[in-house]
Amino acid sequence: MKAVLTDWRLCWLLLLLPVAVFLPALPIDETRYLSIAWEMRFSHDFLALHLNGAPYSDKGPLLFWLINLAWLPFGPQVWTVRAGILAASFCSLLLFERLVLRLAPTAAPDRRALATRATLLLGGIVYFALFSSAIMFDVVLGTFVLVALHGIADFDERRWPRGIALAAIGFGLGLLTKGPAVLLDAGLVALFAPWWSATAREQPGRWYACVLAGVIGGVAIALAWAVAVYGVAGLWSEIILHQTVGRVVKSFAHQRPFWWYFMVLPFMLLPWTLSLRAPWRAWREHFLAGKAARFGLVWFVPAFAVFCFAISGKQPHYLLPILPGLALYLATVLGDAAARLRGRLFGALLLVAGLAFAAVPTLAAHAREISLLERLHLTDAFLRVVAGLWPLWGALVAAIGAWLLCVRDAHASLRALALASVATAACGMLALAQDVGPYVDVSVAAARIKQIQESGQPIAHLAWHHGLFEFPGRFTRPLPKVNYADLRTWCAAHPDGEIVTFYTKYPITAKPELELPYRFGRIIFWRAADILAMPAVPAKPIAPDDEDAPED
């Protein structure tokens, strides 16, 4: 236990634990996934996935199984799920450190130092810290990618049977989490193994046969679930054609140009993009020197290229499972005698950003007096939310920056930068919980919807609601959806019913029965009779009904 919980890892965990405890579920994705897991729980159907009573084939079942597992001790709570995801992130750090130790030469004097550097670099990436307890597929997928890569490392050590078993487990659980993405995140390391593994060069036939066996074993694990739920025909139409081919060739969500990841990656890698300095010679030499560096590069670069040029749907968190590869390469560069960490620039950035962050609530509260409303085109709802932010969070970030400016010990700078980055991420997420948390809490609206449902009164949501209310209200029946074009027809058929929506784009002039704050808008309840009594309105809204929050 002492070897596992060393000082900086314990600090990393303790800094992020309050985020897991206090951050509410964030719409639309996290609330959707909790609703699917809740529907799995109350229906006792742990194979087929459903959202609002309808089949849900967009993702695999493993995250929802894990959510239900996290609910066993204390019931359906958000914090237990976040704590479980944080535990998976912590396991990823441990698995990554162990993987680096296996890749470094046993006799190398800096073997342990390389593993520590790589793990600190990964744990200190701002984006990794921000997502460490996010109820998202990519966080858990990253853990299974590391399991699969340990199997591939076994192949390099000629431990063939164990490697096949580990690779199959990693690939299989990854497929059950987020489909074929695991084959991209981990499979390319095995495919290009002759570049980094002497074993793959010496025994290519056996190598690729064992890799194929691991992949087949993983696919068999995933198919056992998929065929049981969808059958062969449904597997082809729902999983292969709709999800896999549809997302790769022409994404139906998050379509972005090929250069988009090149733009966001430097921000994701903070603080290291500002802090790590090395001569070009070090970057060039370590690009080719050593198994660990090559492994890290072949882990990151080919997959990153595929994400950029071959996959049309792009989100920053899709890169989470391959960030350890880049961290491993950066750790080898940082081990060069000429490499340095310059934490003061990041410290200065935090100091300035923290002071600005602390001043924002006051500026928002006096926005009308200083004409910010008109200059920046801000809404009253946005300013109301921002004005409620505690200046304390900005002051804490500024204090972290000031502390970094005072760190002069070169040996402590890596640990200081990593923990400062994690602390900053924690402050940001806790600020989100304190300020935005009440505005994303839909429990009052969900309780009202459930009360109306249980009374037998008709109620429908105007446009697709993405399962937003299902988990907070602990619904046991679907909340019907009605499109704007059919609104009057529905109201005429249910004159005693109610309409609810969290979209504010519809030109409905009837007086709401109830309005509740939600994000930077409102959740609105109308009586159907009041909608029928209002004057005629345009047949179509400003934007289509179902394009407000595309599937992740």
Report the range of poorest mean pLDDT among 19-23, 258-262, 281-285, 523-527.
281-285
The conformation of residue 369, written as its DSSP 8-state character, comes to T
Tokens standing for residue 232: 């062969």
Q: How confident is the model at residue 3 (pLDDT cuts 50, 70, 90)?
A: very low
Range name among 240-244, 319-323, 447-451, 462-466 with the lowest pLDDT average: 240-244
Provide the pLDDT for residue 494: 94
pLDDT of residue 409: 64
pLDDT on residue 541? 55
For residue 239, the model assigns a pLDDT of: 62
What pLDDT, on the 0 to 100 scale, is given for residue 336? 87
- In angstroms, rounded to a whole number, what is the distance separating the alpha carbons of residues 177 and 66? 10
1 pLDDT band, cuts 50/70/90, is very low
Neighbours of 242 (CB within 10 A): 14
- With CA atoms as reference, report the closest residue to 85 among 66, 68, 99, 72: 66
| Cα(180)–Cα(256) distance, integer angstroms | 20
Angle, in degrees to the nearest 10, between helices 29-43 and 62-71 = 70
Q: Given this model, what pLDDT does residue 256 score?
A: 84
Q: Give the mean pLDDT of 125-139.
A: 96
DSSP string, 44-72: T--SS-EETTEE--SS-SHHHHHHHHHHT
Chain Cα centroid distance, residue 83: 14
Q: pLDDT for 258-272, tens place per residue?
A: 899 999 999 999 999
DSSP 145-209: HHHHHHHHHHHHTT-HHHHHHHHHHHHHHHHHHHTTHHHHHTHHHHHTGGGT-HHHHH-HHHHHH
The CA distances from residue 180 to 14, 59, 150, 278, in Å, are: 33, 11, 18, 36
Nearest Cα neighbor of 258 from 302, 315, 305, 309 is 309
Rounded distance, CA 28 to CA 67, Å? 17
Closest CA to 353 of 389, 401, 391: 401
The answer to whether the bond into 28 is cis (omega within 30° of 0) is yes
Q: How far from the centroid of its chain's Cα atoms is residue 210's Cα?
A: 32
Q: How confident is the model at residue 242 (pLDDT cuts 50, 70, 90)?
A: low
Residue 535 has pLDDT above 50, yes or no: yes
Q: pTM score, two decimals?
A: 0.92
pLDDT mean across residues, the chain: 89
| Residue 19: predicted pLDDT | 97
Chain length of the chain? 552
User: Is residue 63 within 8 Å of residue 29, measured between CB atoms?
Assistant: no
Please give, one letter per residue, the 3-state secondary structure of 90-132: HHHHHHHHHHHHHHCCCCCCCHHHHHHHHHHHHHHCHHHHHCC
- Say yes or no to pLDDT of 156 above 70: yes
pLDDT at 547 over 60: no
pLDDT-above-70 percentage for the chain: 88
Dump pLDDT digits (tens) for 193-220.
Answer: 999 999 999 999 999 999 999 999 999 9
- Amino acid 172: pLDDT: 97
Cα separation, 101 vs 96, whole angstroms: 9
Region 156-175: what's the mean pLDDT? 97
| pLDDT tens digits, one per residue of 428-477 | 999 999 999 999 999 999 999 999 999 999 999 999 999 999 999 999 99
Give me the percent of the chain exceeding a pLDDT of 90.
72
Cα 257 to chain centroid, rounded: 21
Closest to 13 in 3D by CA, of 113, 86, 78: 86
- b (16+ CB within 10 A) / e for 517-543: bbbbbbbbbbbbebbeeeeebeeebee
Per-residue pLDDT tens over the stretch 60-90 = 999 999 999 999 999 999 999 999 999 999 9
236 has pLDDT over 80 = no
What pLDDT score was predicted for residue 253? 59
Whether 319 contacts 308, CB under 8 Å: no
